[in-house]
Amino acid sequence: MHKRTRYSLLLMLALMAALVVALVLRKAAPPEVARLLPESDAIVYANLKPLRAATHFDRSPVDRTPEYQQFIDATGIVPERDLDSVAFALHRMDDPAGPNGPVGYSEVFEGRFDGARLARYLASIATATESYADHDIFTIRVGDEKATRPLRISQLGYDTIAASNMPTAEQIHSILDRHRSAASPFSGSSLLSARYRDVPAFSSAWAIGHIGLPFSERGSISIFGLQLPLPEDTTFVASLRYLGTIHLRIEQIATTDAEAARATETLASLLTLMKSVQQAQAQIQPHPTTDAAFRELTDSTKIEQHKDRAVLTANIPLELVKQLAAPNTDLQP
Protein backbone atom coordinates (compact mmCIF):
# COMPACT_ATOMS: atom_id res chain seq x y z
CA MET A 1 0.00 0.00 0.00
CA HIS A 2 1.30 3.45 -0.87
CA LYS A 3 2.71 5.28 2.17
CA ARG A 4 0.50 8.38 1.68
CA THR A 5 -2.59 6.22 1.28
CA ARG A 6 -1.67 4.32 4.45
CA TYR A 7 -1.25 7.56 6.40
CA SER A 8 -4.60 8.84 5.11
CA LEU A 9 -6.26 5.60 6.18
CA LEU A 10 -4.69 5.80 9.65
CA LEU A 11 -5.79 9.42 9.99
CA MET A 12 -9.34 8.52 9.01
CA LEU A 13 -9.39 5.63 11.51
CA ALA A 14 -8.04 7.92 14.25
CA LEU A 15 -10.74 10.50 13.52
CA MET A 16 -13.42 7.81 13.56
CA ALA A 17 -12.10 6.47 16.88
CA ALA A 18 -12.11 9.99 18.34
CA LEU A 19 -15.70 10.47 17.17
CA VAL A 20 -16.80 7.18 18.76
CA VAL A 21 -15.13 8.13 22.07
CA ALA A 22 -16.81 11.54 21.97
CA LEU A 23 -20.21 9.95 21.35
CA VAL A 24 -19.72 7.45 24.18
CA LEU A 25 -18.70 10.21 26.58
CA ARG A 26 -21.64 12.33 25.50
CA LYS A 27 -24.03 9.40 26.04
CA ALA A 28 -22.62 8.72 29.51
CA ALA A 29 -22.62 12.41 30.47
CA PRO A 30 -25.37 13.92 32.63
CA PRO A 31 -28.18 15.66 30.71
CA GLU A 32 -27.22 19.15 29.61
CA VAL A 33 -29.97 20.83 31.63
CA ALA A 34 -28.46 19.26 34.76
CA ARG A 35 -24.89 20.20 33.80
CA LEU A 36 -25.95 23.85 33.58
CA LEU A 37 -27.14 24.02 37.19
CA PRO A 38 -25.11 25.95 39.78
CA GLU A 39 -23.64 24.54 43.00
CA SER A 40 -26.42 23.24 45.24
CA ASP A 41 -27.41 20.84 48.02
CA ALA A 42 -29.55 18.64 45.77
CA ILE A 43 -30.50 18.16 42.11
CA VAL A 44 -33.75 16.82 40.66
CA TYR A 45 -34.05 15.94 36.96
CA ALA A 46 -36.92 14.66 34.83
CA ASN A 47 -37.26 13.75 31.16
CA LEU A 48 -40.95 14.42 30.59
CA LYS A 49 -41.22 12.90 27.13
CA PRO A 50 -41.55 9.25 28.24
CA LEU A 51 -44.09 10.19 30.92
CA ARG A 52 -46.10 12.25 28.43
CA ALA A 53 -46.07 9.38 25.91
CA ALA A 54 -47.14 6.86 28.56
CA THR A 55 -49.85 8.86 30.33
CA HIS A 56 -50.88 11.56 27.80
CA PHE A 57 -51.08 13.99 30.73
CA ASP A 58 -50.77 16.87 28.26
CA ARG A 59 -54.26 16.05 26.94
CA SER A 60 -55.96 16.25 30.34
CA PRO A 61 -57.92 19.41 31.18
CA VAL A 62 -56.15 21.65 33.67
CA ASP A 63 -57.64 24.17 36.09
CA ARG A 64 -55.46 27.25 35.66
CA THR A 65 -55.25 30.37 37.77
CA PRO A 66 -55.83 33.69 35.96
CA GLU A 67 -52.09 34.49 36.22
CA TYR A 68 -51.13 31.11 34.76
CA GLN A 69 -53.60 31.52 31.90
CA GLN A 70 -52.29 35.04 31.23
CA PHE A 71 -48.76 33.61 30.91
CA ILE A 72 -49.96 30.96 28.42
CA ASP A 73 -51.93 33.48 26.36
CA ALA A 74 -48.99 35.90 26.19
CA THR A 75 -46.20 33.40 25.46
CA GLY A 76 -47.95 30.52 23.75
CA ILE A 77 -46.14 28.14 26.13
CA VAL A 78 -48.24 25.32 27.55
CA PRO A 79 -45.83 23.67 30.04
CA GLU A 80 -47.53 20.27 30.15
CA ARG A 81 -47.31 20.15 26.34
CA ASP A 82 -44.09 22.02 25.54
CA LEU A 83 -41.61 21.07 28.28
CA ASP A 84 -39.35 18.13 27.40
CA SER A 85 -36.87 18.05 30.28
CA VAL A 86 -36.35 19.97 33.52
CA ALA A 87 -33.62 20.17 36.13
CA PHE A 88 -33.84 21.82 39.54
CA ALA A 89 -31.05 22.80 41.91
CA LEU A 90 -32.14 22.98 45.56
CA HIS A 91 -30.33 25.44 47.82
CA ARG A 92 -30.58 25.29 51.60
CA MET A 93 -31.37 28.83 52.83
CA ASP A 94 -29.50 30.29 55.81
CA ASP A 95 -32.75 31.85 57.08
CA PRO A 96 -35.65 29.36 56.84
CA ALA A 97 -38.03 32.12 57.90
CA GLY A 98 -37.02 34.37 54.98
CA PRO A 99 -38.98 34.97 51.75
CA ASN A 100 -37.66 31.75 50.17
CA GLY A 101 -38.48 29.56 53.16
CA PRO A 102 -36.02 26.74 53.93
CA VAL A 103 -35.19 26.03 50.26
CA GLY A 104 -34.38 28.17 47.23
CA TYR A 105 -34.45 26.92 43.64
CA SER A 106 -32.58 27.34 40.37
CA GLU A 107 -34.05 25.70 37.27
CA VAL A 108 -33.26 24.92 33.66
CA PHE A 109 -36.09 24.03 31.25
CA GLU A 110 -35.73 22.51 27.79
CA GLY A 111 -38.57 22.35 25.28
CA ARG A 112 -40.33 24.21 22.52
CA PHE A 113 -40.66 27.96 23.06
CA ASP A 114 -41.42 31.08 21.05
CA GLY A 115 -38.45 33.14 22.19
CA ALA A 116 -39.69 36.45 20.83
CA ARG A 117 -43.09 36.17 22.52
CA LEU A 118 -41.52 35.07 25.78
CA ALA A 119 -39.03 37.97 25.73
CA ARG A 120 -41.82 40.49 25.13
CA TYR A 121 -43.85 39.07 27.98
CA LEU A 122 -40.94 39.05 30.41
CA ALA A 123 -39.97 42.61 29.47
CA SER A 124 -43.54 43.74 30.13
CA ILE A 125 -43.64 42.41 33.71
CA ALA A 126 -39.97 42.72 34.75
CA THR A 127 -38.97 45.16 37.47
CA ALA A 128 -35.35 45.12 36.27
CA THR A 129 -33.30 43.86 33.34
CA GLU A 130 -29.61 42.96 33.34
CA SER A 131 -27.31 42.03 30.48
CA TYR A 132 -24.82 39.29 31.36
CA ALA A 133 -22.72 37.06 29.07
CA ASP A 134 -24.64 38.38 26.04
CA HIS A 135 -27.98 37.34 27.54
CA ASP A 136 -30.80 39.38 29.05
CA ILE A 137 -31.81 38.52 32.61
CA PHE A 138 -35.33 39.64 33.56
CA THR A 139 -36.09 40.11 37.26
CA ILE A 140 -39.68 39.65 38.40
CA ARG A 141 -40.95 40.13 41.94
CA VAL A 142 -43.02 37.17 43.15
CA GLY A 143 -44.71 36.37 46.44
CA ASP A 144 -47.44 37.98 48.51
CA GLU A 145 -47.87 41.34 50.20
CA LYS A 146 -45.97 40.19 53.31
CA ALA A 147 -42.83 39.01 51.52
CA THR A 148 -41.60 39.11 47.94
CA ARG A 149 -38.50 37.64 46.37
CA PRO A 150 -36.81 38.10 42.99
CA LEU A 151 -37.29 35.56 40.22
CA ARG A 152 -34.61 35.94 37.56
CA ILE A 153 -35.25 34.42 34.12
CA SER A 154 -33.01 34.22 31.06
CA GLN A 155 -33.28 32.50 27.68
CA LEU A 156 -30.14 30.48 27.02
CA GLY A 157 -31.14 29.44 23.51
CA TYR A 158 -34.12 28.81 21.30
CA ASP A 159 -35.09 25.73 23.35
CA THR A 160 -33.68 26.44 26.83
CA ILE A 161 -34.75 28.74 29.69
CA ALA A 162 -33.05 29.27 33.06
CA ALA A 163 -34.49 30.73 36.24
CA SER A 164 -33.54 31.24 39.88
CA ASN A 165 -35.37 32.67 42.87
CA MET A 166 -32.25 33.09 44.99
CA PRO A 167 -31.68 36.48 46.69
CA THR A 168 -28.68 37.40 44.51
CA ALA A 169 -27.83 36.91 40.83
CA GLU A 170 -24.93 34.56 41.61
CA GLN A 171 -26.81 31.39 40.63
CA ILE A 172 -28.29 32.67 37.34
CA HIS A 173 -24.84 34.04 36.44
CA SER A 174 -23.35 30.61 37.14
CA ILE A 175 -25.87 28.97 34.80
CA LEU A 176 -24.96 31.41 32.02
CA ASP A 177 -21.25 30.81 32.64
CA ARG A 178 -21.75 27.05 32.44
CA HIS A 179 -23.74 27.50 29.23
CA ARG A 180 -20.56 28.72 27.55
CA SER A 181 -18.83 25.38 28.22
CA ALA A 182 -21.89 23.13 28.04
CA ALA A 183 -20.42 21.21 25.10
CA SER A 184 -18.05 19.51 27.55
CA PRO A 185 -19.54 16.28 28.93
CA PHE A 186 -17.45 16.78 32.08
CA SER A 187 -18.95 20.15 33.03
CA GLY A 188 -21.35 20.51 35.93
CA SER A 189 -21.49 21.14 39.67
CA SER A 190 -19.41 19.30 42.25
CA LEU A 191 -22.52 17.41 43.44
CA LEU A 192 -23.23 16.21 39.91
CA SER A 193 -19.62 15.09 39.47
CA ALA A 194 -19.68 13.22 42.79
CA ARG A 195 -23.06 11.47 42.59
CA TYR A 196 -24.27 11.15 38.98
CA ARG A 197 -22.21 7.95 38.62
CA ASP A 198 -24.63 6.36 41.13
CA VAL A 199 -27.69 7.07 38.95
CA PRO A 200 -28.76 3.88 37.11
CA ALA A 201 -28.44 4.01 33.31
CA PHE A 202 -31.52 4.93 31.29
CA SER A 203 -33.22 6.69 34.23
CA SER A 204 -35.95 9.02 33.01
CA ALA A 205 -36.01 10.88 36.33
CA TRP A 206 -33.53 11.05 39.18
CA ALA A 207 -32.53 13.04 42.22
CA ILE A 208 -29.23 13.26 44.11
CA GLY A 209 -28.04 15.00 47.23
CA HIS A 210 -29.95 16.04 50.33
CA ILE A 211 -33.32 15.15 48.87
CA GLY A 212 -34.99 15.72 52.24
CA LEU A 213 -34.66 19.48 51.72
CA PRO A 214 -38.19 20.11 50.36
CA PHE A 215 -39.62 17.77 53.01
CA SER A 216 -37.65 19.06 56.00
CA GLU A 217 -39.59 19.58 59.20
CA ARG A 218 -37.81 20.28 62.51
CA GLY A 219 -34.64 18.61 61.32
CA SER A 220 -36.30 15.45 59.99
CA ILE A 221 -37.95 14.38 56.74
CA SER A 222 -41.75 14.35 56.60
CA ILE A 223 -43.62 13.00 53.55
CA PHE A 224 -47.42 13.02 53.33
CA GLY A 225 -47.55 13.65 57.08
CA LEU A 226 -45.32 10.66 57.87
CA GLN A 227 -42.08 11.58 59.62
CA LEU A 228 -39.17 9.39 58.58
CA PRO A 229 -36.47 8.60 61.17
CA LEU A 230 -33.81 10.22 59.00
CA PRO A 231 -31.99 13.54 59.43
CA GLU A 232 -32.71 16.16 56.79
CA ASP A 233 -29.12 16.14 55.53
CA THR A 234 -29.22 12.42 54.66
CA THR A 235 -27.78 11.83 51.20
CA PHE A 236 -29.99 10.00 48.70
CA VAL A 237 -29.82 8.83 45.12
CA ALA A 238 -33.32 8.26 43.72
CA SER A 239 -34.26 7.18 40.20
CA LEU A 240 -37.17 6.14 37.98
CA ARG A 241 -36.71 3.85 34.98
CA TYR A 242 -39.29 2.41 32.62
CA LEU A 243 -38.57 -1.32 32.30
CA GLY A 244 -41.94 -2.59 31.11
CA THR A 245 -43.15 -1.08 34.36
CA ILE A 246 -41.87 2.01 36.18
CA HIS A 247 -39.02 0.94 38.44
CA LEU A 248 -38.28 3.09 41.51
CA ARG A 249 -34.93 2.86 43.30
CA ILE A 250 -33.91 4.96 46.30
CA GLU A 251 -30.50 4.60 47.95
CA GLN A 252 -29.73 6.16 51.30
CA ILE A 253 -25.96 6.60 51.57
CA ALA A 254 -24.90 6.08 55.18
CA THR A 255 -21.55 6.87 56.79
CA THR A 256 -21.07 3.27 58.02
CA ASP A 257 -22.43 -0.21 57.34
CA ALA A 258 -23.94 -0.29 60.83
CA GLU A 259 -25.85 2.93 60.21
CA ALA A 260 -27.15 1.51 56.92
CA ALA A 261 -28.30 -1.63 58.77
CA ARG A 262 -30.25 0.45 61.30
CA ALA A 263 -31.86 2.50 58.51
CA THR A 264 -32.82 -0.66 56.63
CA GLU A 265 -34.48 -2.15 59.70
CA THR A 266 -36.38 1.05 60.49
CA LEU A 267 -37.58 1.55 56.92
CA ALA A 268 -38.71 -2.08 56.74
CA SER A 269 -40.83 -1.52 59.86
CA LEU A 270 -42.35 1.60 58.31
CA LEU A 271 -43.17 -0.35 55.15
CA THR A 272 -45.02 -2.95 57.21
CA LEU A 273 -46.96 -0.18 58.93
CA MET A 274 -47.83 1.45 55.58
CA LYS A 275 -49.18 -1.86 54.25
CA SER A 276 -51.40 -2.23 57.31
CA VAL A 277 -52.73 1.33 56.99
CA GLN A 278 -53.39 0.89 53.27
CA GLN A 279 -55.33 -2.33 53.88
CA ALA A 280 -57.41 -0.72 56.63
CA GLN A 281 -58.26 2.31 54.47
CA ALA A 282 -59.23 0.07 51.56
CA GLN A 283 -61.75 -1.70 53.78
CA ILE A 284 -63.21 1.52 55.17
CA GLN A 285 -63.44 3.40 51.87
CA PRO A 286 -63.04 1.02 48.91
CA HIS A 287 -61.73 2.34 45.61
CA PRO A 288 -61.03 -0.80 43.55
CA THR A 289 -58.80 0.69 40.84
CA THR A 290 -56.68 2.77 43.18
CA ASP A 291 -56.60 0.04 45.84
CA ALA A 292 -55.21 -2.47 43.35
CA ALA A 293 -52.55 -0.03 42.13
CA PHE A 294 -51.39 0.84 45.66
CA ARG A 295 -51.38 -2.82 46.64
CA GLU A 296 -49.22 -3.67 43.62
CA LEU A 297 -46.85 -0.86 44.60
CA THR A 298 -46.52 -1.90 48.25
CA ASP A 299 -46.28 -5.63 47.44
CA SER A 300 -43.38 -4.98 45.08
CA THR A 301 -41.50 -2.76 47.53
CA LYS A 302 -38.30 -4.22 48.94
CA ILE A 303 -35.79 -2.73 51.38
CA GLU A 304 -32.30 -4.22 51.50
CA GLN A 305 -28.87 -3.30 52.80
CA HIS A 306 -25.95 -3.11 50.37
CA LYS A 307 -22.89 -2.40 52.53
CA ASP A 308 -23.15 1.31 53.50
CA ARG A 309 -26.47 1.82 51.70
CA ALA A 310 -30.08 1.16 52.51
CA VAL A 311 -31.78 0.47 49.17
CA LEU A 312 -35.51 0.64 48.47
CA THR A 313 -36.87 -0.73 45.19
CA ALA A 314 -40.44 -0.85 43.95
CA ASN A 315 -42.51 -1.16 40.78
CA ILE A 316 -44.95 1.71 40.27
CA PRO A 317 -48.02 0.64 38.25
CA LEU A 318 -48.58 2.75 35.16
CA GLU A 319 -52.23 3.05 36.16
CA LEU A 320 -51.22 4.79 39.38
CA VAL A 321 -48.98 7.20 37.47
CA LYS A 322 -51.86 8.04 35.13
CA GLN A 323 -54.07 8.81 38.12
CA LEU A 324 -51.40 10.98 39.71
CA ALA A 325 -50.88 12.84 36.42
CA ALA A 326 -54.59 13.46 35.92
CA PRO A 327 -55.89 16.71 37.49
CA ASN A 328 -58.54 16.72 40.21
CA THR A 329 -58.19 13.01 40.91
CA ASP A 330 -59.16 11.63 44.30
CA LEU A 331 -56.44 9.14 45.17
CA GLN A 332 -57.73 8.20 48.57
CA PRO A 333 -58.22 4.45 48.78
- 81 and 128 part of one domain: yes
- Whether residue 278 contacts residue 294, with contact meaning beta carbons closer than 8 Å, is answered with yes
- CA 105 to chain CA centroid, Å, is 11
Range of the domain at 262: 211-332
Give the model's pLDDT for residue 263.
Answer: 87
Residue 3 domain-assigned?
no
Residues 313/287, Cβ–Cβ less than 8 Å = no
pLDDT of residue 67: 85
Say whether both 123 and 264 belong to one domain: no
Q: What is the mean pLDDT of residues 136-156?
A: 89
Provide the number of structural domains found in the chain.
2
Look at residue 2 and tell me if it is in a domain: no
Residue 199 lies in a domain: no
Question: For residue 68, what pLDDT is reported?
Answer: 87
Q: Taking residues 34-55, what's their average pLDDT?
A: 92
DSSP 200: P
124: number of Cβ within 10 Å: 9
Residue 252 falls inside a structural domain: yes
Let me know whether 35 and 131 are in one domain: yes
Name the pLDDT band for 21 (thresholds 50, 70, 90): very low
**Global pTM value:** 0.84
Q: Mean pLDDT for the chain?
A: 84
Cβ neighbours for 44, distance < 8 A, ≥ 6 positions apart: 87, 88, 90, 205, 206, 207, 211
pLDDT band at residue 331, thresholds of 50, 70 and 90?
very low
Whether residue 1 is contained in a domain is answered as no
- Both 149 and 41 in one domain: the answer is yes
- Asked if the model's pLDDT at residue 9 lies above 70, the reply is no
Q: Is 50 within a domain? A: yes
| pLDDT of the residue at 12 | 59
Pair (59, 154) in one structural domain: yes
Q: Assess whether 218 and 164 both reside in one domain.
A: no
Q: Does residue 37 sit in the same domain as residue 174?
A: yes
Domain boundary (127, 151, 185) is at 185
Q: Are residues 167 and 232 in the same domain?
A: no
106-122 per-position pLDDT tens digit = 999 999 999 999 999 99
Q: Residue 24: its pLDDT value, please? A: 42
What digits encode the pLDDT tens for the residues 234-244? 899 999 998 77
What pLDDT is attached to residue 26?
Answer: 43
Looking at the structure, tell me whether residues 92 and 175 fall in a common domain: yes
Q: What confidence score (pLDDT) does residue 278 get?
A: 79
84 and 220: one domain? no
Of 189-203, 254-268, 289-303, highest mean pLDDT:
189-203
Does pLDDT of 1 surpass 70? no
- Look at residue 18 and tell me if it is in a domain: no
Average pLDDT estimate for 270-284: 82
- Verify that 236 and 115 share a domain, yes or no: no
| DSSP structural state of residue 333 | -
**pLDDT-based confidence at residue 275 (cuts at 50, 70, 90):** confident
- 45 and 178 share one domain: yes
* pLDDT above 60: residue 306: yes
Residue 224 lies in a domain: yes
Query: Side by side, which strands form the sheet with 226-231?
Result: 216-217, 220-223, 226-231
Q: Mean per-residue pLDDT for 168-190?
A: 86
